[in-house]
């Protein structure tokens, strides 16, 4: 299974693609950030992030998209931008009929480090270790996106954070079409 992890943010949106391997292992496919200029109007910033997410979905053809669930912080404007970017990521996946899952920050930390209270350096160190990387992915948003993807790969069946999709929302024909599109995109690489 290939998962695109998204750490939503309006200035920097972390993006990480991970392939699940046998034996609860994972392999890095790609990592980076989508950026927007804080000097632009919000609609243009969202467009820049959306364009990057669309490009990543087309290039990497994930089987699922995992997005960090937005939680309330003290700064309402930060929460709004983060929530808007999360919505863009979910919409981009939905348009391609790619299942979407939301994972809380504590769920991601617990999956990667064993503790839902782990700090950023612990998460970054474990992502580096789990993916057998030579250095920590930078910036932190990129490492967080990889952690989100790993969390999704390792979630128990039926657990919180499974795809947020109504049962039977895709007909068998739609499912077959979506699988054929993903195979075609992967073959085009």
- Which residues, at least 6 apart from 140, have a Cβ–Cβ distance to it below 8 Å? 14, 120, 124
Q: Which pLDDT band holds residue 73 (cuts at 50, 70, 90)?
A: low
Exposed (0-12), middle (13-18) or buried (19+): which is 63, by Cβ within 10 Å?
A: middle
To the nearest whole number, what is the mean pLDDT of the chain? 88
**Is 7 a known active-site residue?**
yes
Query: What value does the mean pLDDT take over residues 79-108?
Result: 95
Q: What is the CATH number of the domain that holds 58?
A: 3.30.420.10
Exposed (0-12), middle (13-18) or buried (19+): which is 22, by Cβ within 10 Å?
A: exposed
Pairing of strands 64-68, 2-7: parallel
Q: Are 26 and 18 in contact (CB under 8 A)?
A: yes
pLDDT computed for residue 161 by the predictor: 40
The answer, yes or no, to whether residue 100 has pLDDT greater than 80, is: yes
Taking the C-alpha atoms of residue 17 and residue 7, their distance in angstroms, rounded to an integer, is 12
What is residue 75's three-state secondary structure?
Answer: coil
CA 26 to chain centre: 15
Full residue range of the structural domain in which residue 155 is found: 2-187
End-to-end CA separation in angstroms for the chain: 17
For 10-14, 96-100, 103-107, 174-178, which range has the lowest pLDDT when averaged over its residues? 174-178
The pLDDT tens digits for 145-185 are: 999 999 999 886 544 344 444 444 555 555 566 666 667 66
**Is 141 a known active-site residue?**
yes
Say how many domains are in the chain.
1
Q: Which pLDDT band holds residue 188 (cuts at 50, 70, 90)?
A: low
- Binding-site annotation: residue ranges: 7, 68, 141
Which listed residue (41, 107, 141, 181) is catalytic? 141
Angle at 148 between CA 81 and CA 113, to 5 degrees: 125
Taking the C-alpha atoms of residue 167 and residue 42, their distance in angstroms, rounded to an integer, is 35
- Binding-site annotation: residue ranges for Mg(2+): 7, 68, 141
For 38-52, 118-132, 154-168, which range has the lowest pLDDT when averaged over its residues? 154-168
Which listed residue (7, 41, 58, 135) is catalytic? 7
What is residue 129's three-state secondary structure?
Answer: helix
Which listed residue (43, 58, 68, 107) is catalytic? 68
């Amino acid at each position: 299974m290939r998962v695109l992890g998204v750490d939503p943010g309006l200035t920097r949106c972390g993006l990480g693609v991970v392939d699940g391997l046998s034996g609860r292992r994972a392999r890095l496919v790609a990592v980076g950030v989508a950026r927007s200029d804080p000097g632009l109007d919000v609609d243009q910033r969202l467009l820049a992030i959306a364009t990057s997410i669309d490009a990543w979905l087309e290039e990497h053809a994930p089987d699922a998209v995992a997005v960090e669930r937005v939680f309330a912080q003290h700064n309402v404007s930060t929460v709004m931008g983060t929530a808007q970017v999360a919505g863009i990521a979910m919409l981009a996946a939905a348009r391609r009929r790619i299942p979407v899952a939301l994972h809380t920050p504590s769920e991601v930390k617990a999956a990667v480090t064993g503790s839902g209270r782990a700090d950023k350096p612990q998460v970054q160190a474990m992502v580096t270790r789990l993916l057998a990387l030579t250095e920590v992915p930078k910036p932190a948003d990129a490492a967080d996106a990889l952690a989100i993807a790993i969390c999704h790969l390792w979630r128990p069946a039926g657990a919180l954070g499974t795809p947020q999709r109504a049962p039977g929302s895709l007909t068998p024909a739609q499912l077959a079409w979506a699988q054929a599109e993903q195979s075609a995109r992967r073959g085009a690489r």
